[in-house]
């Protein structure tokens, strides 16, 4: 992460736009947080997960549909600006895409891909914002340990439903209508070719 000196005034959207393209910026509690683009393992886990849940849930191919699944959407939630690795909205809540360059409607599901540099932030400040905004489901995907933590919002906070470890097929809420092969998230395409 790139550290910034303490500011007297809260960071603004203009501060985010001024960041160089090799950084991902967020504003949490008025503080500008900038981090380098994800590592290849991080990017692969997020991208492959999107490819697995997209067809059955976003498009309704081989699954129930009814979702909008997006990579790295800009979320403007109160004064906080977040960029989860993946997020999904049920179609009945977001009937059409916003015309603004960001989303001010909290998602129904987010997935944060953890890295050594972002894990504290993802488990701390960002998870607290998702709780405040009542995001029903959060996934924490860890390429280093090849695990998926599945959290559900309850009246007393987030409940850890399961910790799944790759390889293996799992059903994970809210996408438990299909099995996900966790091994695909962390392996190279060549590892998955059949002989």
State whether residue 147 is helix, strand or coil: strand
Structure tokens at 61: 């191919």
- What does the longest C-alpha to C-alpha distance in the chain come to? 61
- The helix, strand and coil proportions of the chain, stated in percent and rounded to the nearest 5, come to 25, 30, 45
Are 69 and 58 spatial neighbours (Cβ–Cβ below 8 Å)?
yes
Torsion angles phi and psi, residue 148, rounded to 5? -125, 120
End-to-end CA distance of the chain: 42
Residue 160 β-bridge partners: 151
**For every one of its 195 residues, what pLDDT tens digit does the chain have, with 9 covering 90 and above?**
545 445 467 888 888 888 988 888 889 988 998 888 888 888 889 899 999 999 999 988 988 999 999 999 999 999 999 999 999 999 999 999 999 989 999 999 999 999 988 899 999 999 999 999 999 999 999 999 999 999 999 999 999 999 999 998 999 999 999 999 999 998 865 554 443
CA–CA dist 87, 109 (Å, integer): 6
- Predicted structure pTM score: 0.87
- How high is the pLDDT of residue 150? 98
- How high is the pLDDT of residue 7? 47
- How high is the pLDDT of residue 34? 87
CA–CA dist 132, 34 (Å, integer): 22
């Amino acid at each position: 992460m790139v550290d910034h000196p303490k500011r007297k005034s809260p960071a603004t959207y203009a501060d985010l736009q001024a960041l160089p393209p090799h950084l991902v910026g967020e504003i949490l509690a008025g503080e500008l947080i900038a981090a380098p683009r994800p590592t290849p393992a991080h990017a692969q886990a997020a991208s492959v997960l999107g490819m697995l849940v997209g067809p059955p849930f976003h498009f309704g191919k081989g699954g129930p549909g009814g979702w909008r699944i997006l990579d790295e959407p800009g979320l403007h939630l109160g004064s906080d600006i977040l960029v989860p690795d993946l997020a999904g909205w049920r179609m009945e809540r977001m009937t059409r895409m916003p015309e603004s360059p960001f989303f001010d409607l909290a998602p129904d599901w987010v997935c944060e891909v953890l890295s050594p540099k972002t894990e504290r932030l993802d488990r701390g400040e960002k998870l607290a914002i998702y709780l405040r905004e009542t995001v029903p489901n959060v996934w924490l995907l860890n390429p280093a340990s090849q695990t998926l933590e599945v959290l559900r919002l309850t009246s007393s906070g987030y409940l850890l439903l399961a910790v799944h470890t790759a390889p293996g097929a799992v059903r994970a809420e809210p996408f438990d209508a299909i099995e996900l092969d966790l091994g695909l998230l962390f392996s190279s395409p060549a590892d998955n070719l059949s002989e």
